[in-house]
Structure 1
């Protein structure tokens, strides 16, 4: 019981602090590059990122998902080429 709780806490901590920040930042950069600068999303410091994430709108999740799909395509490309 306690081991399951600790495991869940570690996974949540890893996801919340590292992956969500990295995915959002990557998504913002990818959108700016792909659109040649026409779509510009703000980049946040980690402390401000969590505040903005709580106030999340649909626009926030679009950037977040674009970062996720960027890494998914990158991983697929690496597997295909490897």
Structure 2
């Protein structure tokens, strides 16, 4: 029981600080490149990212999803070519 709680806490920590920042940043860059600069999501430093994410929760969703699908397509391409 204790090990499960520690594992869940560790997963939450990794997701909240590393993966969400990476997915958002990648998604913001992909959106900017695909739309030729029309959609401009702000890029944040890791120290400011957590605070800004809590202030504008709905604004972050499209960048998250774009970043997730970018890495999903990249993984599928690597599997298909490999």
> Shorter chain as normaliser: what TM range?
over 0.9
Q: Deviations over 1:29-74 (max 9, x none)?
A: 0011111111111000112110111123432101111001110111
Match of 1:41 in 2: 41
Range moving further from structure 2, 25-34 or 55-64: 55-64
Structure 2: stretches of 5+ with no match in the other structure: none
Match of 2:22 in 1: 22
Q: What secondary structure does 1:43 align onto?
A: coil
Between the two proteins, the alignment pairs up a number of residues equal to 82
Distance in 2 of aligned mates of 1:36 and 1:24: 18
User: What is the CA RMSD across the aligned residues, in angstroms?
Assistant: 1.0
Structure 1: stretches of 5+ with no match in the other structure: none
Scaled by the length of structure 2, what TM-score is found? 0.93
